[in-house]
Amino acid sequence: MTLENRRKKWEDETLKPALEEHPERKAAFATPSGIELPGLLTPTEEAGYAEKLGFPGEYPFTRGIQPTMYRGRLWTMRQYAGYASAEESNARYRYLLAQGQSGLSVAFDLPTQIGYDADDPIAAGEVGKVGVSISSLEDMQRLFEGIPLDQVSTSMTINAPAAILLALYIAVAKRQGVEPTRLRGTVQNDILKEYVARGTYIFPPRPSLRLITDVMKYCQAHVPRWNTISISGYHIREAGSTAVQEVAFTLANGIAYVEAACTAGLDVDDFAPQLSFFFNAHNNFLEEVAKFRAARRLWARIMRERFKAANPRSWMLRFHTQTAGSTLTAQQPENNVVRVAVQALAAVMGGTQSLHTNSMDEALWLPTEKSVRVALRTQQILAHESGAGDSVDPLAGSYLVEHLTDEIERRAEEYIARIDAMGGALAAIENQFMQNEIHAAAYAFQQALERGEEIVVGVNAYKIDEKIEMEQLRLNSHIEADARARLTALRARRDPARTAQLLARLADAARGDENLMPLFIECVEHDLSLGEICNALRREWGEYQNAEPA
């Protein structure tokens, strides 16, 4: 069949049904000059890419995992938010939903991320900073008050205690009368990148991997629409990696998770369709577009050839994108609006499934409602005014884009081969290989910046003397005291005998090999706190101590 005939078949059998399913996207697609836009452009035979690239929705998914991409349905606009108390974060979620956001994304404070309650001495001064404070089921209920959990998808950026936060979410849903089978969302649950780049780990790697596979097994049986892990390159890039390293190290970690799940007795096609990824979007527009296309193609081949997955959904690399926090500048913060727009456009042209756009003032303080609204409007302008989503994979066949895609894929493969030779991602982390490569890349960029070889507008070029005068979001000074008081009241009213019994059962289970998720749910439903559960596991498993970089 000729390419033209394949394109016509695609329009009749794929595009038209998709538009019937999503009538809001049925309007005629044309430029302001009246030039009609085809749903799909196919590279010519002469370009040399036609058969290699194939069609969107087909292996190896270079051109996107969905046959119609945004021509059928737009990406999910999922703004990351969370700060202070559960009530204040709940108000921000309601505001974002009212402004047209289509999914929730929860940021937790540092004590929550490393499994400490708000009244633990180690949490002093950090409660409600950089995220919302969640210590108990009561907190989680207040966080989602008035938000029907069967009507939104929720992403939670949580790793070491991800299983416990998911247990809290399931318990809240049950109290709302929502069956777990109806829940949609993601827990990041990616501990390997914490050892590499971010540092919010609790337990050593092997029990941490057990928690991850417990979540996979439990969700396969009870929460089938939930994405059990979001394998993150975002934080690897924020730590200073190159685009190639972001792809390579993220997929190497992904390989380790697939191997761990298979070793735990799961069939690859039973869990792989619910794997998801999380990537960064940086400023070099064409490299970023190519990065997403290369990652998709490389993962498809890894899953089909290395792991022998038979389900095409197991081959698909589905990913969320966030614009790059590390590129935001405190100097001339209004310039960040432009940076975010460029980065968001790269994510859209690269085929992301959901997107967060950073706010212009995040290098200075917690973003205000106005700056958050501008960030969300940036996505909405791209969706409804730019025409970027009117054709599927519009940059396919560009000589430069295809060259960059091939080159990123090749270099990432070389990294993965080196990691395989070391014994896999866990071994590469333990011997500091990934960390050292990232540190070297970050140092090289900083040197180039200081020499003026790399330009950051407003920082080392085009500088001005300015007094920053922007609206600030100020936190309630009583957040920590209020959280402590709530925990004291919670512990006073619960059954101490039941609490002691559950903690003893938790210790026994941690020493064994049973799936911990049902017990976590039972614990939180009986008002055991996040910190109490994590401390019980700490006593059995110990805490991870990271080595200094070589």
Q: Could you report the per-residue pLDDT of 533-543, keeping only the tens digit for each?
A: 999 999 999 99
pLDDT in tens, 297-350: 999 999 999 999 999 999 999 999 999 999 999 999 999 999 999 999 999 999
Output the 3-class SS for 279-295: EEECCCHHHHHHHHHHH
Q: Is residue 545 a part of any domain in this protein? A: no
* pLDDT for residue 546: 77
Which residues constitute the domain of residue 205? 76-451
Q: Is residue 232 a part of any domain in this protein? A: yes
Q: Is residue 472 a part of any domain in this protein? A: no
pLDDT in tens, 29-52: 665 656 676 666 666 554 556 667
Residue 255, CB-side half-sphere exposure with 13 Å CA sphere: 28
Spatial separation of the C-alpha atoms in residues 97 and 376, rounded to whole Å: 11
Asked if 89 contacts 83 with a C-beta cutoff of 8 angstroms, the reply is yes
Residue 194, CB-side half-sphere exposure with 13 Å CA sphere: 24
**CB-based contacts of 391: which residues, under 8 Å, 6+ apart?**
29, 37, 38, 39, 40, 41, 71
Q: Is residue 484 a part of any domain in this protein? A: no
* For residues 241-245, average pLDDT: 96
Strand order in the sheet with 184-187: 226-227, 184-187, 153-157, 103-107, 76-81, 354-356, 319-323, 275-281, 229-232
* For residues 482-511, average pLDDT: 97
pLDDT in tens, 359-393: 999 999 888 889 999 999 999 999 999 999 998 89
Q: Is residue 10 a part of any domain in this protein? A: no
Q: Is residue 417 a part of any domain in this protein? A: yes
Asked if 200 contacts 113 with a C-beta cutoff of 8 angstroms, the reply is yes
Q: Is residue 293 a part of any domain in this protein? A: yes
Asked if 321 contacts 279 with a C-beta cutoff of 8 angstroms, the reply is yes
Whether the predicted pLDDT of 413 surpasses 90: yes
* Confidence class for position 547, pLDDT limits 50, 70, 90: low
Q: Is residue 248 a part of any domain in this protein? A: yes
Which amino acid makes up residue 193? K
Asked if 470 contacts 333 with a C-beta cutoff of 8 angstroms, the reply is yes
| Counted domains in the chain | 1
Asked if 52 contacts 294 with a C-beta cutoff of 8 angstroms, the reply is no
* For residues 134-142, average pLDDT: 97
- Partnered with residue 108 across adjacent β-strands are 132
Task: Calculate the average pLDDT of the chain.
Answer: 92
Closest CA to 176 of 146, 213, 152, 218: 146
Percent of the chain past pLDDT 90, that is, above it, reads 78
Report strand pairing: 229-232 vs 76-81: unpaired
Q: Which two tokens stand for residue 324?
A: 């790059």
The enclosing domain of 162 has a CATH number of 3.20.20.240
* For residues 141-169, average pLDDT: 96
* pLDDT for residue 50: 62
* pLDDT for residue 72: 86
pTM for this entry: 0.90
* For residues 284-291, average pLDDT: 95
* For residues 441-464, average pLDDT: 94
* For residues 448-466, average pLDDT: 93
